[in-house]
Amino acid sequence: MKQKLIIGFSVILLLTVVYLIGSDLFTNSSKHDENPTEYKIDKLRQIDSSLICYKEINHFNSGMSKAKGLAIDENNTIYIAGNKQVLLFNSSGIKTGGFKMDTLAHCLAVDNDQIYLGAGNRILQYNIAGEQISSWPAFNPKSFITSIALNGNHIYAADAINRRVFKYNKNGNLVWEIGKKDTAKGFEGFVIPSPYFEVAFGAYNDMWAVNPGKHLVQNFSVEGEIQSSWGLTSFSIEGFSGCCNPSHIAILPNGEFVTYEKGLERIKIYDPTGKFRCVVAGPESFMRKEDLILKIAPCVVDLAVDNEGTIYVLDANNMVKVFVKK
Amino acid sequence: MDNKKLNRREFINKGVRIGIGVGIGVIGYELLSRTLSSKTVWQIDPAKCIQCGKCATSCVLEQSAVKCLHVYQMCGYCDLCSGYLRPETKELTTGAENQLCPTSAIERKYIDDPYFEYHINEELCIGCGKCVKGCGAFGNGSLQLQVQHELCVNCNQCAIARECPSEAFSRVPASSPYLLKGFGGK
Amino acid sequence: MKKSTQVALILLITSLIAFNLFGVQRFPRPEFENGYQQPETILNAPRALFFEYFDLAVLIGSLSLITWLILKKRSRKAVFWVMIFSLLYFGFYRKGCICPVGSLQNVTLALFNPEYSLPINGIAFFIIPLVFTLFFGRTFCAGVCPLGAIQDVFALRPVSLKSWVQSLLGLIPFIYLGLAVLFAATASDFIVCRYDPFVGFFRHNASFMMFAIGGILLFISVFIARPYCRFLCPYGVLLNLVSRFSKKHLTIAPSACISCRLCENSCPFGAIDKPTGAKFKQPSNVLVKKLILYCLIIPFLMAVCGWTASKYYESFAKVNFKVKLATEIMQSKNSESEVIPLEITAFRSSGNSEEVLFEEAKVILNRFYLGNWFLGGFIGLVFGLTLARLTIIPYKTDYTTNKGTCFSCARCVDYCPVKE
């Protein structure tokens, strides 16, 4: 009798095990448990919509696979550099021309139908017909040019690897370089933790360079001496966050700054003194809802403005988005 | 007569035995002629990882075999390290209330103005990936989650892989057991 | 427990990054003025390949030794000590992973998915015990398998089960095997590893449910010896079938059985076939009638079971990640729920196309539909054959081991008075 009891009990236990395994296998266990250690970047990416002062009026596909640089000339022609070519578009996004090159350029600047491109450790000059006019090596073979600006007869190239801005004349001769730490003159040097380093000229021929590791935008004289800086380190809307921001800037005809901040993915306007004014576009303009939670790669590749104050944004999907004031 | 029966049974047995032997041989040959690997181990592809925190909780080991690795070569040595500091932090100090890491496993060391070195204390790291997300979103992405092979028991079916929502786990050859992300550039 | 055998290698990360470069030069670290030395990222190498082959050598060595001990020495004591060694080595030292029971899934996955690269050790661990069984019976079960060993130590008060209970419960491993093959062939899951009840004890770590299952099984082991081996183990099914045709096998008596009945209750696994007595010596025309009957019943059973199983293919397929994800995406489109599962978020964010996923899920679903027909048919066949075996009992006069279910543990040998 006792033995039968033991057998019965054991067999029931055995069947319980089988049942446990079976139910665990076939019950749909899509657990949506809270992650106690979640880093909610979508919360940080929220923007008060009342701060948005621009609207998107147009967008077009560049048709390029690795679009890297965006520039606009005085006639409001749009130039896009990337995948071993440069393409030209008019302001409504219709392709008007283009040419092929041997190398992948990461940035470009245009003046008087002359196109200057930064391609790794070389600076190239092309005319609008696609003929290479000249080219010269940057500072050293390790150089990586992330931004080019033109002013008068000079070419300014930002070299993220050497942490210097180089000024060249039209023959490619070096005039000066800035970036060395000079505590006497109040310059701490550029802190550039990743390949985001911009140089740009304002409406009054004022030269600005971004110091991304310090979240500063800094003004230099044409002689290369530091004049002033602005910028605030903060995740709030007024400041810049993360390790290398603003990663791209452009200056509007009225002297206001357009900044792009990777990570939080926001494009903002600062007044000429560096005071936050408003937001051009928040992450919703470049990301889908699910990207807001997860996406960590930058969404914007370059920024440019035309002479009417329209803002053009080249995004990581090779699209150009056009924003005007509301 | 019984003897005859016995002989017949033995004959059948022998036949089946040879059949099974041939079957095993065919399966073995078939398997050997396919893609073979000498040894494979589990690893996370950082490009697919979404830092969901499941690595910290799903491993069969009490202390997850997944740890955060710091690729120093990719680090910007930032003062404002987005993998180390909580986003709302006002002061850049090492106070525990400022740290993103739930177990304070990241150690910060002053190197040279304005640079700081960050070191992962693997004894404390639980592999939650919070710092990885912070570093990836706002920084260079030098912090990456990887299976630490000294700890991993190399289960036939990795329990984290089954829970991973982005299918970031896969088996890789033991000869190159880490899948650290390279530097993407601009 | 830290593995002292592991060789920690410090690899220069630069060489690693070189593999992963996207074509852009690597960004240099800041310029430090105080001679700062950048530390290297320490990457510990996995267990060296040599040790994998060492495991293989241990497997072959212990199998050969135990086979010799069983068939030539006929010593239960020696078998016991080899079993303890295996428990310590494959169980507690190797943490239960690399085991022939699980390898059957790797082999299935490799056979159905040519892109899966199977480690050589996986093949060897699957095939070697089968080959040994083909020649010498289930000596692997006797004392090389750590899962069997851990239960065997707990077999303290074994009670014998009625043969029909044993046959009925013996159906479970066939179903388990069928499921394991189905899920492995569709690259869905390795359920045998997922529900390995004792691996948690080997690692001193498992979820509560796995500890509970393992604990219950070990508790049952006290009364029903080796419950996992007899009523769950899917690899045991293969060994059982192969062992029936083994060339040599453990015998209770070294020579002729004297029918003394001393061994009758010696087997804790109910693997000794008793003499049937004269009443079971059925005339051959009755046997033929029964055979014809089963020839009709079995295909019918197979069809019914296959049809039934095929009805449930969708819920079976949900074990597969891709099918589950595709289903969830479909459902999320219909519902307005705010909470989106992380899987869907991750999938959408990855930028992969939904159409491709749905296509893949469809292919897997079709495989499951077909697979479920096969699974059902297989279960039907096993049902039918079990039924047949319960009613057609071959006439026999001696006490012999049942070559299928006998684990060759050599317990019975000590009971047999025939020593020469």
**CB-neighbour burial class of residue A79 (10 A; exposed 0-12, middle 13-18, buried 19+):** buried
User: Which among C195, C223, C227 has CB closest to A21?
Assistant: C195
Backbone phi, then psi, for C61, in 5-degree steps?
-60, -50
What domain count does chain A have? 1
Query: How many CB pairs below 8 Å do chains B and C form together?
Result: 194
Quick check: C134 contacting B, CB < 8 Å? yes
* Contact at CB, B52 and A35, closer than 8 angstroms: yes
A54 bridge partner residues = A325
* 3-class DSSP state of A167: strand
pLDDT per residue as tens, chain C (420 positions): 344 333 334 333 333 433 343 333 457 777 777 788 888 888 888 888 889 899 999 999 999 999 999 999 999 999 999 999 999 999 999 888 878 999 999 999 999 988 888 888 889 999 999 999 999 999 999 999 999 999 999 999 899 888 889 999 999 999 999 999 999 999 999 999 999 999 999 988 888 888 999 999 999 999 999 999 999 999 999 999 999 999 999 999 988 888 888 888 899 999 998 887 766 666 778 878 888 888 899 999 999 999 999 999 999 999 999 999 999 898 888 877 777 788 888 888 888 889 999 999 999 999 999 999 999 999 999 999 998 888 877 777 888 899 999 999 999 999 999 887
Rounded CA-CA distance C254/A246 in Å is 87
* Contact at CB, C25 and B185, closer than 8 angstroms: yes
Retrieve residue C357's tokens: 């996923």
Distance from CA of A109 to the nearest CA of B (A): 17
Distance from CA of B62 to the nearest CA of C (A): 6
Asked if the ipTM is above 0.85, the reply is yes
Smallest CA–CA distance from A191 into chain C, residue: C30
Quick check: B89 contacting C, CB < 8 Å? no
Domain-by-domain residue ranges, chain B? 1-36, 40-173
Distance from CA of A153 to the nearest CA of C (A): 31
Distance from CA of B80 to the nearest CA of A (A): 7
* Contact at CB, B138 and A264, closer than 8 angstroms: yes
Is the pLDDT score of A79 beyond 90? yes
Quick check: B73 contacting C, CB < 8 Å? yes
DSSP code string of C47-75: SPHHHHHHHHHHHHHHHHHHHHIIIII--
Rounded CA-CA distance B154/B166 in Å is 20
Instruction: Provide, rounded to the nearest whole percent, the portion of chain A with pLDDT above 70.
Output: 98
Name all chains with 3 or more CB-CB pairs below 8 Å to chain A.
B, C
Q: Which residues in chain A are contacts of B112 at CB distance < 8 A?
A: none
* 3-class DSSP state of A58: strand
User: Which among A235, A245, A294 has CB closest to B50?
Assistant: A294
Q: Which residues in chain A are contacts of C341 at CB distance < 8 A?
A: 30, 32
**Gap between the terminal Cα atoms of chain A:** 90
Question: Do the domain assignments include residue A3?
Answer: no
What does the angle CA A187 – CA B135 – CA A321 come to, to the nearest 5 degrees? 80
* Contact at CB, C205 and B35, closer than 8 angstroms: no
Contacts of C35 (CB under 8 A, 6+ apart): none
* Contact at CB, C346 and B52, closer than 8 angstroms: yes
| Alpha helices per DSSP H over chain A | 2-26, 41-44, 289-294
Which residues in chain C (192-231) have CB-CB distances under 8 A to chain B? Answer: 193-194, 199-200, 203, 205-206
Q: What is the pLDDT, as a whole number, of residue C365?
A: 95
Retrieve residue C192's tokens: 């045998």
- pLDDT (mean) for B118-132: 93
H or E stretch including C343? helix C342-350
Backbone phi, then psi, for A143, in 5-degree steps?
-50, 145
Whether residue B79 contacts residue A211, with contact meaning beta carbons closer than 8 Å, is answered with no
Its domain, for residue A228, covers 41-325
Q: What is the pLDDT, as a whole number, of residue A33?
A: 67
Question: Do the domain assignments include residue A133?
Answer: yes
* Contact at CB, C121 and B39, closer than 8 angstroms: yes
Backbone phi, then psi, for A193, in 5-degree steps?
-80, -15
Backbone phi, then psi, for C288, in 5-degree steps?
-60, -40
User: Which among B31, B77, B184 has CB closest to C123?
Assistant: B31
Torsion angle in degrees (nearest 10) through CA of C66, C194, C347, C358 = 90
Quick check: B142 contacting A, CB < 8 Å? no
Q: What is the pLDDT, as a whole number, of residue B184?
A: 38
Rounded CA-CA distance C290/A36 in Å is 64
Distance from CA of C322 to the nearest CA of B (A): 10
Among the residue ranges A121-135, A303-317, C9-23, C34-48, the one predicted with the least confidence is: C9-23
**What CATH number corresponds to the domain at position A283?**
2.120.10.30
Query: How many CB pairs below 8 Å do chains A and B form together?
Result: 81
User: Which among A37, A144, A196 has CB closest to B53?
Assistant: A37
Smallest CA–CA distance from A291 into chain B, residue: B50
State the average pLDDT for chain B: 87
Distance from CA of B59 to the nearest CA of A (A): 15
Rounded CA-CA distance C32/C228 in Å is 63
Q: A99: how many CB neighbours lie within 10 A of its CB?
A: 16
Q: Which residues in chain A are contacts of C28 at CB distance < 8 A?
A: 142, 161
Strands C118-119 and B36-37 turn out to be parallel
Which residues in chain B (118-147) have CB-CB distances under 8 A to chain C? Answer: 119, 140
Q: What is the pLDDT, as a whole number, of residue C5?
A: 35
Whether residue A304 contacts residue A250, with contact meaning beta carbons closer than 8 Å, is answered with yes
* 3-class DSSP state of A123: strand
Q: Which residue has the tokens 């048709």?
A: A63
* 3-class DSSP state of A319: strand
State the average pLDDT for chain A: 90
User: Which among A194, A235, A301 has CB closest to B140?
Assistant: A194
Interface test with C, best of A17, A25, A214 (most C CBs within 10 A): A17
Side chain identity at residue C218, one-letter code: L
* Contact at CB, C25 and A144, closer than 8 angstroms: yes
* Contact at CB, C17 and B40, closer than 8 angstroms: no
SS (H, E, C) C24-48: CCCCCCCCCCCCCCCCCCCCCCCCC
The 10s digit of each residue's pLDDT in A88-107 is 999 889 999 999 998 899 99
Question: Do the domain assignments include residue A146?
Answer: yes
- Burial of A303-325, coded b for 16+ CB within 10 Å and e otherwise, reads bbbbeeebbbbbbeebbbbbbee
- Burial of C34-58, coded b for 16+ CB within 10 Å and e otherwise, reads eebeeeebbbbbbbeeebbeebbeb
Q: Which residues in chain C are contacts of B24 at CB distance < 8 A?
A: 127, 130-131, 134
Question: Do the domain assignments include residue A164?
Answer: yes
Quick check: B186 contacting A, CB < 8 Å? yes
Rounded CA-CA distance A84/A67 in Å is 9
* Contact at CB, C344 and A290, closer than 8 angstroms: yes
Identify which of A220, A213, A168 has the alpha carbon closest to the alpha carbon of residue A190. A213
Rounded CA-CA distance C167/C161 in Å is 10
The 10s digit of each residue's pLDDT in A165-222 is 999 999 899 999 998 888 888 888 898 888 899 999 998 889 999 999 889 999 999 8
H or E stretch including C379? helix C354-391
Quick check: B47 contacting A, CB < 8 Å? no
Retrieve residue A49's tokens: 């919509």
Smallest CA–CA distance from A191 into chain B, residue: B114
* Contact at CB, B37 and C119, closer than 8 angstroms: yes
Rounded CA-CA distance A146/A160 in Å is 6
Q: Which residues in chain A are contacts of C159 at CB distance < 8 A?
A: 3, 6-7, 10
Interface test with B, best of A106, A121, A243 (most B CBs within 10 A): A243
Retrieve residue A47's tokens: 């923007």
Identify which of A239, A304, A315 has the alpha carbon closest to the alpha carbon of residue A44. A239
Question: Do the domain assignments include residue A36?
Answer: no
Contacts for C7-15: CB closer than 8 Å, 24+ residues apart: C7/C45, C7/C48, C8/B150, C8/C42, C8/C44, C8/C45, C9/C43, C9/C44, C9/C45, C10/C40, C10/C42, C10/C43, C11/C43, C11/C45, C12/C40, C13/B71, C13/B72, C13/B73, C13/B180, C13/C40, C13/C41, C13/C43, C14/B73
Question: Do the domain assignments include residue A317?
Answer: yes
